[in-house]
């Protein structure tokens, strides 16, 4: 009997270990958080009318509506155009500028007060000026996306450039590396984790800028669907747009995380 009990206990230990490892799986925990969120939403919706807070099932039904879904996807495609152009311009300018300002103490001391002053201004405050300078349509929306994410990316890249240890550069120079080679072989690899942080922060801010522009400028694309839905008291359709934006942000963050894990396996823990 004692030997049988010992065998049963030994067989149960690996299963318990597998169960503990299963609960540490980030994908399972992420799915669990979504399920809990939907459950809380469903419970909260029972306390209100569908006009004020529709249940998740009503919002999900919009994605299977043959009259609504093509309009939503078409609007999303046009919205992504302004998002990609604005975010690309912000990255193309903020990355090299951040490296230059971060690696030059003189330039950093000169421009840091100006950057901090502008960074403290809410980007929405620039909307009247952007309308005057770029108009109400595509160019204006691109400009607001650029304004929403440029300084976030710039600040992170400057911080990363200043974080590179002087000793690493000195080691490179001791082996005969030129200034350009030190920048390419030492500074950029050490800066890469901050670049991915800038990508994550900047992409989220760019998506915020995309939908903000479509609500504050001429109503178009996703913003137009939201405005017309609220005017028609169709709360489920408006929330379907919000869910679409959430899924877009989640997809962007997941793609950046996967790329970071592939390229920075030496840096990430766990």
| Domains of the chain, residue spans | 2-45, 56-263
- In the numeric block, which tokens belong to residue 57? 């099932």
pLDDT of residue 4: 42
Q: Which tokens belong to 5?
A: 């009990």
Q: Which CATH number fits domain 56-263: 3.40.470.10, 1.10.3720.10, 2.40.50.140, 1.10.220.110?
A: 1.10.3720.10
Q: Which of 182, 109, 195, 183 is nearest to 152 (CA)?
A: 195
Instruction: Please state, in angstroms and rounded to a whole number, the distance separating the CA atoms of residues 264 and 160.
Output: 15
Angstrom distance (rounded) from CA 142 to CA 153:
16
Per-residue confidence in pLDDT tens, the chain, 270 aa: 445 454 544 544 545 455 555 566 667 777 787 788 778 887 877 777 777 888 888 888 888 888 888 999 998 988 999 999 999 999 999 999 998 898 888 988 999 899 999 888 888 888 889 989 998 888 999 999 999 999 999 999 998 888 776 666 666 666 666 666 666 667 777 788 888 999 999 999 999 999 998 888 877 788 888 888 888 888 888 899 999 999 999 999 989 988 888 887 665 554
- From residue 28, give the alpha-carbon distance in Å to each of 16, 163, 213: 17, 35, 35
pLDDT at residue 44, rounded to an integer? 77
Maximum pairwise Cα distance, the chain: 87
| Residues 233/49, Cβ–Cβ less than 8 Å | no
- What is residue 175's predicted lDDT score, i.e. its pLDDT? 63
Decide: 206 and 86 in contact? Cβ < 8 Å: yes
pTM for the model stands at 0.80
DSSP string, 125-188: GGHHHHHHHH-SSHHHHHHHHHHHHHHHHHHHHHHHHHHS-HHHHHHHHHTT--HHHHIIIIIH
């Amino acid at each position: 009997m004692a030997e049988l009990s010992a065998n049963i206990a030994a067989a149960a230990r690996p299963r318990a270990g597998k169960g503990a490892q299963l609960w540490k799986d980030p994908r399972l925990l992420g799915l669990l958080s979504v399920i809990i969120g939907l459950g809380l939403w469903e419970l909260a919706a029972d306390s209100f009318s569908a006009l004020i807070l529709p249940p998740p099932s009503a919002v999900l039904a919009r994605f299977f509506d043959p009259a609504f879904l093509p309009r939503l996807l078409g609007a999303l495609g046009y919205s992504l155009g302004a998002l990609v152009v604005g975010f690309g311009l912000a990255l193309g300018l903020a990355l090299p500028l951040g490296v230059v300002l971060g690696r030059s103490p003189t330039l950093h001391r000169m421009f840091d007060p100006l950057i901090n002053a502008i960074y403290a201004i809410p980007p929405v405050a620039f909307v009247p000026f952007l309308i005057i300078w770029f108009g109400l349509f595509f160019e204006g929306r691109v400009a607001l996306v650029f304004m929403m994410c440029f300084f976030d990316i710039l600040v992170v890249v400057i911080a990363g450039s200043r974080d590179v240890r002087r000793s690493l550069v000195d080691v490179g120079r001791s082996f005969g590396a030129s200034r350009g080679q030190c920048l390419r072989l030492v500074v950029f690899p050490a800066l890469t984790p901050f670049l991915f942080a800038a990508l994550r922060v900047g992409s989220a801010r760019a998506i915020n800028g995309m939908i903000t522009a479509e609500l504050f400028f001429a109503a178009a694309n996703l913003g137009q669907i939201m405005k017309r839905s609220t005017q028609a008291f169709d709360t489920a359709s408006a929330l379907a747009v919000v869910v679409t934006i959430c899924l877009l942000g989640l997809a962007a963050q997941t793609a950046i995380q996967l790329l970071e894990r592939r390229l920075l396996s030496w840096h990430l823990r766990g």
